[in-house]
Protein backbone atom coordinates (compact mmCIF):
# COMPACT_ATOMS: atom_id res chain seq x y z
CA UNK A 1 0.00 0.00 0.00
CA UNK A 2 3.01 2.32 0.14
CA UNK A 3 2.93 5.15 -2.40
CA UNK A 4 6.43 6.41 -1.80
CA UNK A 5 9.14 6.64 -4.46
CA UNK A 6 11.51 3.73 -4.81
CA UNK A 7 14.45 5.73 -3.42
CA UNK A 8 12.69 6.32 -0.08
CA UNK A 9 14.43 4.65 2.89
CA UNK A 10 13.41 1.07 3.66
CA UNK A 11 13.67 -0.39 7.16
CA UNK A 12 13.90 -3.96 8.47
CA UNK A 13 11.33 -5.12 11.01
CA UNK A 14 13.68 -4.91 14.02
CA UNK A 15 14.41 -1.28 13.21
CA UNK A 16 10.71 -0.57 12.79
CA UNK A 17 10.02 -2.18 16.18
CA UNK A 18 12.51 0.18 17.79
CA UNK A 19 11.04 3.20 16.00
CA UNK A 20 7.43 2.43 16.92
CA UNK A 21 7.70 0.71 20.29
CA UNK A 22 5.82 -2.30 18.88
CA UNK A 23 7.28 -5.78 19.13
CA UNK A 24 8.22 -7.65 15.97
CA UNK A 25 5.63 -10.27 17.00
CA UNK A 26 2.84 -7.66 17.07
CA UNK A 27 3.87 -6.17 13.72
CA UNK A 28 3.82 -9.63 12.09
CA UNK A 29 0.48 -10.41 13.74
CA UNK A 30 -1.07 -7.21 12.36
CA UNK A 31 0.12 -8.29 8.93
CA UNK A 32 -0.68 -12.00 8.94
CA UNK A 33 -3.85 -12.19 11.04
CA UNK A 34 -5.42 -8.77 10.62
CA UNK A 35 -4.13 -7.84 7.15
CA UNK A 36 -3.47 -4.22 8.17
CA UNK A 37 0.20 -4.04 7.21
CA UNK A 38 1.68 -5.02 3.85
CA UNK A 39 5.48 -4.69 3.89
CA UNK A 40 7.52 -5.23 0.79
CA UNK A 41 9.89 -8.18 0.53
CA UNK A 42 13.54 -7.82 -0.35
CA UNK A 43 15.45 -10.23 -2.62
CA UNK A 44 16.40 -12.22 0.49
CA UNK A 45 12.76 -12.49 1.59
CA UNK A 46 13.08 -10.12 4.54
CA UNK A 47 10.25 -7.69 5.23
CA UNK A 48 11.03 -4.03 4.51
CA UNK A 49 8.96 -1.04 5.58
CA UNK A 50 8.75 2.47 4.14
CA UNK A 51 8.23 5.74 5.98
CA UNK A 52 4.46 5.72 5.46
CA UNK A 53 4.28 2.16 6.83
CA UNK A 54 5.93 3.39 10.04
CA UNK A 55 3.49 6.30 10.24
CA UNK A 56 0.60 3.89 9.77
CA UNK A 57 1.87 1.58 12.53
CA UNK A 58 2.13 4.58 14.87
CA UNK A 59 -1.39 5.60 13.91
CA UNK A 60 -2.73 2.11 14.68
CA UNK A 61 -0.91 2.19 18.00
CA UNK A 62 -2.51 5.55 18.87
CA UNK A 63 -5.98 4.19 18.05
CA UNK A 64 -5.44 1.31 20.47
CA UNK A 65 -4.43 3.84 23.12
CA UNK A 66 -7.72 5.66 22.44
CA UNK A 67 -9.73 2.52 23.23
CA UNK A 68 -10.09 0.76 19.88
CA UNK A 69 -9.22 -2.92 19.52
CA UNK A 70 -7.13 -4.34 16.70
CA UNK A 71 -10.13 -6.44 15.67
CA UNK A 72 -12.29 -3.33 15.32
CA UNK A 73 -9.59 -1.62 13.30
CA UNK A 74 -9.25 -4.60 10.97
CA UNK A 75 -13.00 -4.41 10.25
CA UNK A 76 -12.62 -0.78 9.19
CA UNK A 77 -9.85 -1.88 6.85
CA UNK A 78 -6.44 -0.57 5.90
CA UNK A 79 -7.62 1.72 3.10
CA UNK A 80 -10.09 3.66 5.27
CA UNK A 81 -7.67 3.81 8.20
CA UNK A 82 -4.89 5.21 6.02
CA UNK A 83 -7.31 7.81 4.68
CA UNK A 84 -8.27 8.80 8.22
CA UNK A 85 -4.59 9.10 9.10
CA UNK A 86 -4.02 11.40 6.14
CA UNK A 87 -7.11 13.55 6.77
CA UNK A 88 -5.54 16.64 8.33
CA UNK A 89 -8.00 19.27 7.11
CA UNK A 90 -9.61 19.94 10.50
CA UNK A 91 -6.33 20.58 12.31
CA UNK A 92 -5.04 23.76 10.65
CA UNK A 93 -7.07 26.37 12.53
CA UNK A 94 -3.97 27.83 14.21
CA UNK A 95 -2.39 28.74 10.84
CA UNK A 96 -3.31 31.75 8.67
CA UNK A 97 -5.91 30.76 6.06
CA UNK A 98 -3.74 31.74 3.10
CA UNK A 99 -0.97 29.37 4.21
CA UNK A 100 -2.99 26.32 5.22
CA UNK A 101 -2.77 24.60 1.85
CA UNK A 102 1.02 25.12 1.83
CA UNK A 103 1.27 23.75 5.38
CA UNK A 104 -0.72 20.70 4.34
CA UNK A 105 1.68 20.24 1.42
CA UNK A 106 4.67 20.44 3.80
CA UNK A 107 3.23 17.77 6.08
CA UNK A 108 2.57 15.39 3.21
CA UNK A 109 6.06 16.15 1.88
CA UNK A 110 7.52 15.31 5.31
CA UNK A 111 5.64 12.02 5.31
CA UNK A 112 7.23 11.23 1.94
CA UNK A 113 10.66 12.64 2.84
CA UNK A 114 10.33 15.20 0.02
CA UNK A 115 13.02 17.63 1.17
CA UNK A 116 12.83 19.88 -1.90
CA UNK A 117 9.17 20.77 -1.40
CA UNK A 118 9.70 21.53 2.29
CA UNK A 119 12.77 23.69 1.64
CA UNK A 120 11.08 25.60 -1.16
CA UNK A 121 7.95 26.34 0.90
CA UNK A 122 9.80 27.43 4.04
CA UNK A 123 12.30 29.59 2.14
CA UNK A 124 9.38 31.17 0.25
CA UNK A 125 7.56 32.08 3.46
CA UNK A 126 10.67 33.69 4.95
CA UNK A 127 11.34 35.61 1.72
CA UNK A 128 7.72 36.75 1.40
CA UNK A 129 7.03 37.67 5.02
CA UNK A 130 10.43 38.21 6.57
CA UNK A 131 11.93 36.00 9.24
CA UNK A 132 10.05 37.43 12.22
CA UNK A 133 6.55 37.18 10.78
CA UNK A 134 7.21 33.81 9.12
CA UNK A 135 8.48 32.27 12.37
CA UNK A 136 5.81 33.74 14.65
CA UNK A 137 2.84 33.44 12.32
CA UNK A 138 3.52 30.18 10.48
CA UNK A 139 6.58 28.13 11.39
CA UNK A 140 6.22 28.00 15.19
CA UNK A 141 2.49 27.06 14.89
CA UNK A 142 3.44 24.48 12.24
CA UNK A 143 6.06 22.92 14.52
CA UNK A 144 3.55 22.76 17.40
CA UNK A 145 1.05 21.14 15.06
CA UNK A 146 3.61 18.57 13.91
CA UNK A 147 4.28 17.74 17.56
CA UNK A 148 0.56 17.15 18.11
CA UNK A 149 0.38 14.93 15.04
CA UNK A 150 3.30 12.88 16.31
CA UNK A 151 1.60 12.39 19.69
CA UNK A 152 -1.56 11.27 17.86
CA UNK A 153 0.40 8.76 15.80
CA UNK A 154 -0.42 10.59 12.58
CA UNK A 155 3.18 11.34 11.66
CA UNK A 156 6.47 9.64 12.45
CA UNK A 157 9.30 11.13 14.47
CA UNK A 158 11.55 11.16 11.40
CA UNK A 159 8.94 13.11 9.41
CA UNK A 160 8.61 15.66 12.22
CA UNK A 161 12.39 15.93 12.49
CA UNK A 162 12.73 16.48 8.74
CA UNK A 163 10.77 19.74 8.94
CA UNK A 164 12.62 20.84 12.09
CA UNK A 165 16.02 20.20 10.49
CA UNK A 166 15.14 22.23 7.40
CA UNK A 167 13.84 25.16 9.46
CA UNK A 168 16.98 24.98 11.60
CA UNK A 169 19.20 25.09 8.50
CA UNK A 170 17.29 28.08 7.14
CA UNK A 171 17.92 29.91 10.43
CA UNK A 172 21.62 29.01 10.44
CA UNK A 173 21.98 30.27 6.86
CA UNK A 174 20.25 33.49 7.86
CA UNK A 175 22.47 33.82 10.92
CA UNK A 176 25.57 33.79 8.71
CA UNK A 177 24.17 36.68 6.67
CA UNK A 178 22.91 38.89 9.47
CA UNK A 179 25.89 39.27 11.79
CA UNK A 180 25.62 42.54 13.71
CA UNK A 181 28.40 44.40 15.50
CA UNK A 182 26.19 46.41 17.84
CA UNK A 183 27.42 47.76 21.16
CA UNK A 184 25.15 45.64 23.37
CA UNK A 185 26.29 42.01 23.51
CA UNK A 186 24.14 38.95 24.13
CA UNK A 187 24.98 35.24 24.44
CA UNK A 188 22.27 32.68 23.66
CA UNK A 189 22.53 28.94 24.32
CA UNK A 190 20.65 25.73 25.05
CA UNK A 191 21.20 24.42 28.57
CA UNK A 192 23.04 21.13 29.16
CA UNK A 193 21.14 18.20 27.66
CA UNK A 194 18.89 20.32 25.44
CA UNK A 195 19.23 20.07 21.65
CA UNK A 196 16.17 22.05 20.48
CA UNK A 197 17.76 24.91 18.59
CA UNK A 198 14.99 26.63 16.65
CA UNK A 199 13.81 28.99 19.40
CA UNK A 200 17.32 30.13 20.50
CA UNK A 201 18.43 30.51 16.86
CA UNK A 202 15.37 32.68 16.20
CA UNK A 203 16.09 34.67 19.36
CA UNK A 204 19.65 35.32 18.17
CA UNK A 205 18.47 36.55 14.76
CA UNK A 206 15.78 38.80 16.24
CA UNK A 207 18.32 40.43 18.54
CA UNK A 208 20.80 40.88 15.70
CA UNK A 209 18.14 42.59 13.59
CA UNK A 210 17.66 45.05 16.46
CA UNK A 211 21.30 46.01 16.68
CA UNK A 212 22.56 43.57 19.28
CA UNK A 213 25.88 41.79 18.88
CA UNK A 214 24.18 38.47 19.55
CA UNK A 215 26.07 35.17 19.52
CA UNK A 216 24.47 31.73 19.51
CA UNK A 217 26.70 29.25 21.35
CA UNK A 218 24.84 26.08 20.34
CA UNK A 219 22.91 23.17 21.84
CA UNK A 220 23.82 21.25 24.98
CA UNK A 221 26.22 23.91 26.27
CA UNK A 222 27.75 23.12 29.65
CA UNK A 223 27.73 25.74 32.36
CA UNK A 224 31.53 25.61 32.39
CA UNK A 225 31.62 26.64 28.71
CA UNK A 226 29.02 29.33 29.37
CA UNK A 227 31.13 30.69 32.21
CA UNK A 228 34.24 30.78 30.00
CA UNK A 229 32.29 32.60 27.26
CA UNK A 230 30.98 35.10 29.79
CA UNK A 231 34.49 35.86 31.09
CA UNK A 232 35.87 36.31 27.57
CA UNK A 233 32.99 38.22 25.98
CA UNK A 234 31.63 40.24 28.94
CA UNK A 235 28.06 40.23 27.56
CA UNK A 236 25.29 42.51 28.74
CA UNK A 237 22.75 39.71 28.48
CA UNK A 238 22.63 35.91 28.52
CA UNK A 239 19.55 33.99 27.39
CA UNK A 240 19.28 30.29 28.21
CA UNK A 241 16.80 28.01 26.48
CA UNK A 242 15.35 24.66 27.52
CA UNK A 243 12.58 22.84 25.68
CA UNK A 244 12.74 19.66 27.78
CA UNK A 245 11.55 20.03 31.35
CA UNK A 246 14.14 18.87 33.91
CA UNK A 247 13.33 17.26 37.23
CA UNK A 248 12.96 19.81 40.02
CA UNK A 249 16.37 19.06 41.56
CA UNK A 250 18.15 19.61 38.23
CA UNK A 251 16.18 22.79 37.57
CA UNK A 252 17.02 24.10 41.03
CA UNK A 253 20.69 23.35 40.38
CA UNK A 254 20.50 25.32 37.11
CA UNK A 255 19.09 28.34 38.89
CA UNK A 256 21.70 28.18 41.66
CA UNK A 257 24.43 28.10 39.02
CA UNK A 258 22.91 31.07 37.17
CA UNK A 259 22.68 33.09 40.39
CA UNK A 260 26.24 32.38 41.53
CA UNK A 261 28.20 32.14 38.27
CA UNK A 262 26.42 34.38 35.77
CA UNK A 263 24.14 36.88 37.43
CA UNK A 264 26.87 38.88 39.17
CA UNK A 265 28.36 39.66 35.73
CA UNK A 266 25.39 40.12 33.38
CA UNK A 267 21.63 40.03 33.10
CA UNK A 268 20.26 36.49 32.60
CA UNK A 269 16.91 35.47 31.12
CA UNK A 270 15.43 32.01 30.56
CA UNK A 271 12.94 30.75 27.99
CA UNK A 272 11.35 27.61 26.62
CA UNK A 273 8.84 25.05 27.85
CA UNK A 274 11.49 23.40 30.00
CA UNK A 275 11.70 26.46 32.25
CA UNK A 276 7.91 26.93 32.51
CA UNK A 277 7.57 24.87 35.68
CA UNK A 278 10.45 26.83 37.22
CA UNK A 279 9.12 30.28 36.29
CA UNK A 280 8.16 31.26 39.87
CA UNK A 281 11.58 30.23 41.17
CA UNK A 282 13.26 32.10 38.31
CA UNK A 283 11.40 35.32 39.03
CA UNK A 284 12.09 34.93 42.76
CA UNK A 285 15.81 34.91 41.92
CA UNK A 286 15.58 37.90 39.58
CA UNK A 287 15.71 35.89 36.34
CA UNK A 288 12.95 36.98 33.91
CA UNK A 289 11.12 34.13 32.18
CA UNK A 290 10.43 34.64 28.47
CA UNK A 291 7.09 33.03 27.61
CA UNK A 292 7.49 33.65 23.87
CA UNK A 293 10.43 34.27 21.57
CA UNK A 294 8.90 37.54 20.32
CA UNK A 295 9.36 39.09 23.78
CA UNK A 296 13.03 39.65 22.94
CA UNK A 297 11.97 42.17 20.28
CA UNK A 298 11.19 44.61 23.10
CA UNK A 299 14.70 44.45 24.53
CA UNK A 300 17.22 47.19 23.97
CA UNK A 301 20.26 48.37 25.87
CA UNK A 302 18.41 51.09 27.78
CA UNK A 303 15.50 48.81 28.66
CA UNK A 304 17.94 46.20 29.91
CA UNK A 305 19.36 48.59 32.47
CA UNK A 306 15.90 49.16 33.96
CA UNK A 307 14.90 45.47 34.28
Q: How confident is the model at residue 305 (pLDDT cuts 50, 70, 90)?
A: very low
CB atoms within 10 A of CB 74: 16
Q: What is the 3-state secondary structure (H, E, C) of the chain?
A: CCCCCCCCCCEEHHHHHHHHCCCHHHHHHHHHCCCCCCCEECCCCCEEECHHHHHHHHHHHHHHHCCCCHHHHHHHCHHHHHHHHHCCHHHCCCCCHHHHHHHHHHHHHHHCCCHHHHHHHHHHHHHHHCHHHHHHHHHHHHHHHHHHHHHCCCCCHHHHHHHHHHHHHHHHHHHHHCCCCCCCEEEEEECCCCCCCHHHHHHHHHHHHCCCEEEECCCCCCHHHHHHHHHHHCCCEEEEECCCCCCHHHHHHHHHHHHHHHCCCCEEEEECHHHHHHHHHHHHCCCCEECCHHHHHHCCHHHHHHC
114 and 82, same structural domain?
A: no
Q: Is 6 among the domain residues? A: no
Domain C-terminal end among 141, 176, 211: 176
302 and 247, same structural domain?
A: yes
Q: How confident is the model at residue 3 (pLDDT cuts 50, 70, 90)?
A: very low
160 and 126, same structural domain?
A: yes
Q: How confident is the model at residue 1 (pLDDT cuts 50, 70, 90)?
A: very low
Q: The domain that contains 284 carries what CATH number?
A: 3.40.50.280
pLDDT of residue 87: 66
288 and 201, same structural domain?
A: yes
Any bridge partners for residue 47, and if so which? 41
Mean pLDDT rounded to a whole number for the chain: 86
20 and 96, same structural domain?
A: no
124 and 149, same structural domain?
A: yes
Q: Is 141 among the domain residues? A: yes
- Residues 242-272 have pLDDT tens digits of 998 899 899 999 999 999 999 999 999 999 9
184 and 255, same structural domain?
A: yes
- Residues 11-41 have pLDDT tens digits of 899 999 988 889 999 999 999 999 999 999 8
pLDDT of residue 205: 92
Q: How confident is the model at residue 91 (pLDDT cuts 50, 70, 90)?
A: low
Domain C-terminal end among 60, 86, 112: 86
Q: How confident is the model at residue 59 (pLDDT cuts 50, 70, 90)?
A: confident
Domain C-terminal end among 176, 199, 224: 176
81 and 146, same structural domain?
A: no
127 and 242, same structural domain?
A: no
Instruction: Give the separation between CA 198 and CA 193, rounded to whole angstroms.
Output: 15
Total domains in the fold of the chain: 3
Q: Is 203 among the domain residues? A: yes
- Residues 123-162 have pLDDT tens digits of 998 888 888 889 888 898 888 888 877 877 777 888 888 9
Residue 27 is part of which domain span?
11-86
Residue 226 has pLDDT above 50, yes or no: yes
Q: Higher confidence at residue 100 or residue 256?
A: 256
- Residues 159-186 have pLDDT tens digits of 888 999 999 999 998 887 756 666 789 9
Mean pLDDT value across residues 212-227: 95
Any bridge partners for residue 49, and if so which? 11
Mean pLDDT value across residues 69-74: 91
Q: The domain that contains 65 carries what CATH number?
A: 1.10.1660.10
Q: Is 204 among the domain residues? A: yes
Q: Is 33 among the domain residues? A: yes
- pTM confidence score: 0.72
Residue 306 has pLDDT above 60, yes or no: no
Q: How confident is the model at residue 283 (pLDDT cuts 50, 70, 90)?
A: very high
Amino acid sequence: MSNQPNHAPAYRIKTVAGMTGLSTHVIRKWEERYHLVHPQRGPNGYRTYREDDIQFLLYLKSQLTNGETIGQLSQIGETHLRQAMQDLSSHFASLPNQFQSDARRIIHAAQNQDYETIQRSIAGWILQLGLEEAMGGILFPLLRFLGELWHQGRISNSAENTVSRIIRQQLIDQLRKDWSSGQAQALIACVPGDYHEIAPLTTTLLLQKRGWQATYLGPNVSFEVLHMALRRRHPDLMILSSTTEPDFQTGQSWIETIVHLFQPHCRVMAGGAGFRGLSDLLVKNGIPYLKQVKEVTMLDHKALATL
